[in-house]
Amino acid sequence: MGERPDVKVAVLISGRGSNLQALLDACAKPEFPAEIVCVISNIADAYGLERARRAGVATQVIDHKAFPTREAFDAALDTAIRAAGAELVCLAGFMRLLTPGFTKAWHGRVINIHPALLPSFKGLHTHRRALEAGVKLHGCSVHFVTADLDDGPLIVQAAVPVLDGDDEDSLAQRVLTAEHRIYPLAVKLIGEGRVHLDGRVVRVDGAADAGATLVNPIA
């Protein structure tokens, strides 16, 4: 304890940045084993940039529209992330697909938060699709990023109930609260050196089982 240096993190965003805020708040605690060294947005007026500035974290805008190809955009991201000295990249509402070249170069060092219990509901509009599918449990996942969309090894998941009368907004809010809990948890586990990739499966050293079964509805 106390000997391992904090893992240096780059956070990539495209918008509101509430997950970024959860990470900033976690990193502000002295015992938290990670430090955010830069926040990069592909959108110039993303509100998350304001959150980063308020926390005194360096920001950069890299507008994907300024690059002729996805490869060129990803090369600019790569350069900025390396220049900041980041060892771990956290996608936090970053709405661009990364190229296979990037995900290969950063294999095991890029993580994403997705608003569904993967492998269900990859892609967009996860809450609407969960409601349409009638699932009783929904949630969120933190996973390693691979070349395939929302497909990489799962690190932490949280489940929430889908309640009678939920609409997209109420369900999104319940899931978002869980996101803000598990994204810092995943970064903490990585920072503590407790996360190991074993093919498709992630092993976490010293983790306790969640224990209880979540049943919904209770009748």
Instruction: Work out whether 19 is an interface residue with ligand GAR (CB under 6 A).
Output: yes
Contact assessment for residue 111 and residue 91, using Cβ atoms and an 8 Å cutoff: yes
| 3-state per-residue secondary structure call for 147-179 | CCCCCCCEEEEEEEECCCCCCHHHHHHHHHHHH
Contact assessment for residue 111 and residue 191, using Cβ atoms and an 8 Å cutoff: no
User: If residue 188 lies in a helix (H) or strand (E), which one and from where to where?
Assistant: helix 168-191
Of 24, 73, 89, 93, which lies in the binding site for ligand GAR, with binding defined by CB under 6 A?
A: 93
Q: Least separation, in Å, of the C-beta of 199 and ligand GAR?
A: 23
Among residues 44 and 208, whose Cβ is nearest to ligand GAR?
44
Q: Which of the stretches 17-25, 26-34, 57-65, 158-166 binds ligand GAR when contact is defined by CB under 6 A?
A: 17-25
By C-alpha distance, which of 108, 74, 71 is closest to 89? 108
Show which residues are catalytic.
Answer: 114
Instruction: Work out whether 179 is an interface residue with ligand GAR (CB under 6 A).
Output: yes
d(CA 167, CA 139): 15
Residue type, 37: V
Instruction: Work out whether 16 is an interface residue with ligand GAR (CB under 6 A).
Output: yes
d(CA 78, CA 86): 10
Task: Please give the structure tokens belonging to residue 115.
Answer: 């608003």
Those residues whose C-beta lies under 8 Å from the C-beta of residue 114, and which sit 6 or more positions away, are 122, 126, 140, 141, 142, 143, 150
Instruction: Work out whether 142 is an interface residue with ligand GAR (CB under 6 A).
Output: no
Instruction: Work out whether 152 is an interface residue with ligand GAR (CB under 6 A).
Output: no
Q: Which residue is nearest to ligand GAR (CB)?
A: 93
Among residues 43 and 86, whose Cβ is nearest to ligand GAR?
43
Instruction: Work out whether 115 is an interface residue with ligand GAR (CB under 6 A).
Output: yes
Total binding residues toward ligand GAR, as defined by CB under 6 A: 14
Q: Which of the stretches 13-21, 59-67, 96-104, 204-212 binds ligand GAR when contact is defined by CB under 6 A?
A: 13-21
The residues of the shown chain that bind ligand GAR, judged by CB under 6 A, are 13, 15-19, 48, 92-93, 113-115, 176, 179
